[in-house]
């Protein structure tokens, strides 16, 4: 904790220094070190940035803070940074031509868009992040752990169609719900009566009835699980979690601290954020068995395509997943497309979110290792 605290203090000191450099500058031609304030807008802009960052650290789930930060964080994403550089470049275009600085802005913006839009680069980035989740997927083939609870981080797994009020549609992350049902069935086969804790708060930016608060998404997920054969008595609703941290805190407070379940759970989340999710739960003293879903690595356009190998040793079937020589790289793998830009942005968003969690002291390095295939018994 001392290391995390020092890191946060250094970050705040660096932030104050950067704002000071924005607001003040040395007066040119003076021998002494004098500071001259810039225009009023520079003061105001720097103050807004400072307040937004401080509020994001203190109250990350505040609606106004979320909206302001979504704007200020735009340059931290490939598309936002490219648009900002292009804007700077356009400001350098005059009747007599274009300045050298503006040309450089346009070149850099074009390079960023091209780089992060190339499929082979986007899938390489996502494979690096999902590598631990791939190992967890292999280890789960013969997992025999019995737990009290299966925790499903279900935020953004469903969408409410406005024209069909009684129906629920799945998003591209909806396979997490199916993963929860599979884990429940596995626990039943092991002779264990586990519960599924569905953690998902209200959908952001959506209001079905202006006179009533937005219902938590967890209730819609519970209906889907019940339709898949999971009894209502086995489904527990946690309706306040809007992100990984708030879900972990609510589960610890409501179930573990009250003695209703042990500190070892099966955790279901996206493969992209599984490592951050496990570290977040570990920081609260909760041991997790990873059960990842929503693998972008295994998409049809994955580069290179994954290769599955199933072998049998005695009565034990094992599965291995490799990326080497799965298929030859094709010319289309180097052709930029919008899907690859979106995938690259997801990876970068996860990186910055992990940095934020680290600065808040929400991540623990003491996470249970994923067992290797050699240590898994049939």
Q: What average pLDDT does the segment 206-212 reach?
A: 63
What pLDDT, in 10s, does the model give residues 14-48? 666 665 665 555 444 444 444 444 455 555 555 66
Cβ 203 vs Cβ 217: under 8 Å: yes
Among residues 134, 123, 70, which one has the least CA distance to residue 342? 123
Every domain of the chain and the residues it spans: 1-72, 148-261
For residue 308, what pLDDT is reported? 60
What pLDDT, in 10s, does the model give residues 87-115? 989 888 887 788 899 999 999 999 999 99
For residue 180, what pLDDT is reported? 96
For residue 215, what pLDDT is reported? 83
pTM: 0.80
Beta-strand ranges (E) seen in the chain are 24-26, 35-37, 93-94, 97-98, 149-153, 158-159, 169-170, 195-199, 235-238, 264-270, 287-293, 307-313, 316-322
For residue 207, what pLDDT is reported? 62
Cβ 274 vs Cβ 289: under 8 Å: no
Among residues 131, 135, 148, which one has the least CA distance to residue 183? 148
For residue 165, what pLDDT is reported? 62
Cβ 37 vs Cβ 23: under 8 Å: yes
Greater confidence, 297 or 106? 106
pLDDT category of residue 1 using cuts at 50, 70 and 90: very low
For residue 244, what pLDDT is reported? 95
DSSP letter, residue 5: H
Residue 360 has pLDDT above 80, yes or no: yes
Residue 66 has pLDDT above 70, yes or no: no
For residue 127, what pLDDT is reported? 87
Q: Which residues contact 98 (CB under 8 A, 6 or more apart)?
A: 89, 92
Q: What is the CA radius of gyration of the chain?
A: 24
For residue 26, what pLDDT is reported? 46
239 by Cβ neighbours in 10 Å (0-12 / 13-18 / 19+) ranks as: middle
Greater confidence, 191 or 10? 191
Whole-number Cα distances in Å, 282 to 107, 245, 278, 334? 44, 11, 6, 39
Residue 203 has pLDDT above 60, yes or no: yes
In which residue are the tokens 């094709």 written? 330
For residue 108, what pLDDT is reported? 95
For residue 298, what pLDDT is reported? 77
Residue 324 has pLDDT above 90, yes or no: no
Greater confidence, 27 or 141? 141
Residue 302 has pLDDT above 80, yes or no: no
What pLDDT, in 10s, does the model give residues 76-94? 899 999 999 999 898 888 8
For residue 34, what pLDDT is reported? 46
Residue 130 has pLDDT above 70, yes or no: yes
What pLDDT, in 10s, does the model give residues 149-188? 999 999 999 987 666 667 788 888 999 999 999 999 999 9
């Amino acid at each position: 904790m001392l290391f995390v605290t020092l890191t946060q203090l250094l970050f705040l000191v660096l932030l104050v220094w950067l704002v000071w450099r924005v607001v003040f500058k040395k007066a040119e031609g003076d021998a002494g070190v004098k500071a001259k304030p810039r225009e009023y807008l520079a003061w105001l802009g720097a103050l807004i940035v400072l307040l937004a960052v401080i509020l994001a650290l203190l109250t990350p789930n505040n609606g106004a803070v979320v909206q302001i930060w979504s704007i200020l964080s735009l340059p931290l994403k490939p598309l936002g940074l490219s648009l900002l550089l292009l804007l700077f470049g356009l400001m350098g275009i005059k009747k007599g031509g274009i300045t050298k600085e503006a040309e450089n802005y346009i070149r850099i913006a074009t390079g960023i868009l091209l780089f992060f839009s190339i499929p082979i680069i986007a899938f390489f980035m996502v494979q690096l992040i999902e590598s631990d989740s791939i190992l967890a997927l292999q280890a789960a083939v013969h997992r025999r752990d019995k737990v009290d609870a299966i925790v499903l981080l279900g935020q953004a797994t469903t969408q409410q169609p406005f024209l069909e009020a009684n129906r629920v549609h799945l998003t591209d992350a909806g396979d997490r719900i199916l993963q929860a049902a599979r884990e429940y069935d596995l626990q039943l086969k092991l002779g264990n009566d586990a519960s599924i804790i569905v953690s998902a708060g209200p959908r952001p930016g959506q209001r079905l009835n202006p006179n009533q608060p937005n219902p938590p998404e967890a209730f819609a997920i519970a209906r889907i699980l019940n339709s898949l054969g999971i009894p209502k008595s086995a489904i527990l609703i946690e309706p306040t979690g809007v992100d990984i941290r708030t879900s972990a805190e609510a589960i610890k407070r409501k179930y573990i601290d009250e003695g209703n379940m042990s500190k070892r759970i099966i955790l279901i989340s996206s493969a992209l954020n599984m490592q951050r999710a496990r570290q977040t739960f570990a920081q609260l003293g909760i041991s997790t068995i990873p059960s990842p879903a929503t693998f972008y690595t295994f998409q049809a356009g994955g580069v290179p395509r994954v290769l599955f190998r199933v072998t049998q040793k005695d009565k034990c079937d094992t599965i291995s997943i490799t990326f080497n020589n799965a298929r030859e790289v094709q010319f289309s793998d180097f052709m930029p497309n919008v899907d690859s830009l979106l995938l690259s942005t997801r990876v970068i968003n996860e990186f910055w979110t992990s940095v934020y969690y680290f600065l808040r002291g929400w991540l623990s390095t003491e996470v249970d290792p994923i067992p290797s295939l050699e240590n898994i018994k049939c």
